[in-house]
Amino acid sequence: MKIEMFHLCPYRDLPEDFREKYRSVWVDVPRHLFDGEIARRTYNETLDEIKYAAEMGYDGICVNEHHQNAYGIMPSPNIMAAAMSRETEGVAIIVMGNSIALYDPPIRVAEEFAMLDCISGGRLVAGFPVGSAMDTAFGYGSNPTTLREKYAEAEELILRAWESDEIFSFDGKYTQLRYVNLWPRPLQKPRPPIWVPGSGSIETWETCVRKGHLYAYLSYSGYKRGKQVMDGFWKVADAAGIDNPYHAGFLQLVCVADSEQELHDKYASHTEYFFNKMLHIYPGFADPPGYRTIDTIKAGLLAQTTAFGRSDERELTFDELREAGNVIAGSPKQVTEQLENVIRDLHIGHLMILNQFGSIPHELAKENIRRTAHEVVPNLRHIWSEYKDHWWPKNAIVREGSVAIDQ
């Protein structure tokens, strides 16, 4: 079992009345709410928290890409990953996204990921998300009806650039290059492992199964809704004769404390901040026409972000979010038991944990990271020891009790 620490780099200082006064935390979040000093502090604390997670014993550290929002102020995860490639040893550097359809030309992604793989010494995981509608259609003005077609072409170019031994030309519908001659090239051969983050779409499941990429469900709706999504993925995988749990990952919010009173005192307000403010997204931004396919809509896999933070509904409480499985919170023993149930029920070999989310301050985030890494994670590593992990970087550490990678 592999367990990674995921960081969104959220803007932790939105005003108390944000949900009532403003339409959305994404796309049209008012510019006057941004404070450069708060951002400076946030970026540096985020880097410190990621490094701390590596030191505390997580298997990997995850960063991802978002644009024009206060939900996660990390438009370039590659910058964060470059810093962590120098500041950490052994752990996997998991960039859960360059939205490859947004780059013109997408060869830029191939180059930067190759740099990161070389700097880290072959510890990179390359994430290829399609990207949220907020980021792609509104943040970068990409036509949602052609997004997946552009994505497929970009992926073809990037993989060929990594794997080809010859200089070649590329004549695609969206990208034309007379010379493709990648310098630098990835240290891992033929390329880094590819993870595809998603929020639940049939097309993404099919792509991951067909091409052998890891499917990572980034769920804020918790493991209960996650069961519907992961069952859908495994139905597609089973039809192809695939049952290796390392083919899939899942994201879960986690809080560790010694008593119910301590949980409420330390984490309740910050959890409520995340779900009621950071997921306060105008529904029109989350699901523009053409973004979600007919098959996915028919399957009932609608945007999870529209389920939270709506100004026309009351705010969700910490206890309600725990009951729904949005956050797993409890003593180390309780959290371990709940996470083992999640891992086995969803059949996942990679568990990504959010220890800092919402407005959790720096020192409390570090406490949560340390307690999860020391008192929970070691109790889970034995799971799935009978399987091989084909989706782990060649030179990333394999902790004691975890399964060896397939070389």
List residues bridging with 177 in a β-sheet.
170
- Nearest in space to 89 (alpha carbons), one of 359, 405, 388, 396: 396
Across the range 217-240, mean pLDDT stands at 92
Structure token pair of residue 66 = 């978002």
Q: What pLDDT, on the 0 to 100 scale, is given for residue 191? A: 97
Question: Hey, what are 380's tokens?
Answer: 């889970």
CA-to-CA separations, 55 to 58, 153, 376, 381, in angstroms, rounded: 8, 38, 15, 17
H helix count then E strand count, the chain: 14, 11
Q: Give yes or no for residue 305 having a pLDDT over 60.
A: no
CB 132, CB 145: distance < 8 Å? no
Mean pLDDT in residue range 233-245:
97
Q: Residue 217: enclosing H or E segment and its boundaries? A: strand 214-217
Q: What is the pLDDT of residue 130?
A: 94
Residue 288 burial by Cβ neighbours in a 10 Å radius (0-12, 13-18, 19+): middle
This prediction has a pTM of 0.94
Arithmetic mean of pLDDT, 200-208: 91
Residue 405 scores a pLDDT above 80: no
Q: What is the pLDDT of residue 302?
A: 61
**Res. 86 pLDDT band, cuts 50 70 90:** very high
CATH number of 2-379: 3.20.20.30
Q: Are 350 and 59 in contact (CB under 8 A)?
A: no
pLDDT for res 307 = 54
> What single string gives the DSSP state of each residue in 274-291?
IIIIIT---HHHHS-TTT
Single-letter amino acid, residue 295:
D
pLDDT exceeds cutoff 70 at 406: no
Per-residue b or e along 18-44, where b marks 16 or more CB atoms closer than 10 Å to that residue's CB: bbeebbbbbbebeeebeeeeeeeebbe
Measured CA distances, 218 to 15, 21, 164, 276, 346 (Å): 26, 28, 32, 18, 13
pLDDT band per the 50, 70, 90 thresholds, residue 404: very low
pLDDT in tens, 360-373: 999 999 999 999 99
Nearest one of 226, 206, 231, 252 to 304, comparing CA atoms: 226
Q: What percent of the chain has pLDDT over 90?
A: 87
pLDDT digits (tens, 9 = 90+) for 110-143: 999 999 999 999 999 999 999 999 999 999 999 9
pLDDT confidence bin for 356, thresholds 50/70/90: very high
Judged on CB neighbours under 10 Å (0-12, 13-18, 19+), 400 is exposed
Chain-wide mean pLDDT for the chain? 94
Question: Of 191, 186, 194, 195, nearest to 115 (Cα)?
Answer: 186
Distance CA 403, CA 407 (A): 12
Q: What is the rounded CA–CA span in Å between residue 94 and residue 226?
A: 21
Mean pLDDT score, 328-353: 98
More confident residue, 198 or 355: 355
Strands 214-217 and 194-198 come out as: parallel
| SS3 annotation, 66-81 | CCCECCCCCCCHHHHH
